[in-house]
Amino acid sequence: MSAAANLPDAWPDAVCPRVRKPFRLQWEPAQSAWVLLYPEGMVKLNGSAGEIMSRCDGERSVAALITELQTRFQLPDLGNDVRAFLHMARQQGWVDLTMPEGGVAA
């Protein structure tokens, strides 16, 4: 992929984000929030981040994830916000982007 593929709006809709190892996503009832656990600690996610990350299973494409969130919350035009979050999450090392054929996006 080109350098432009690193920009949120340039990601192909077909890529499938997934939580990257060693991170583990889980619902934490005591905090009423999704958290990312990793060997050195924990990241408590806000509501929007938790909704996005809980769908990063490596099976849903970016397009499907956006459609699902727009339907669930009855909000149009979430694409840019979701892509911006995924871009940040990838920079933090929280997610990998896989191609539908099973390859990892550059």
Query: In the prediction, which pLDDT does 12 show?
Result: 79
pTM of the full predicted structure?
0.83
Inside any domain, residue 10: no
CA angle 76, 78, 84 (to 5 degrees): 165
Please write the tens of the pLDDT for every residue from 51-105: 999 999 999 999 999 999 999 999 989 999 999 999 999 999 999 988 876 555 5
Which token pair is 2? 């080109």
Q: Identify the pLDDT of residue 1.
A: 36
User: What is the predicted pLDDT for the residue at 102?
Assistant: 53
What local confidence, expressed as pLDDT, does residue 97 receive?
86
CA 10 – CA 41 distance, rounded (Å): 32
CATH at 50: 1.10.10.1150
76 in a domain, yes or no? yes
For residue 3, is it within any domain?
Answer: no
- The total of structural domains in the chain comes to 1
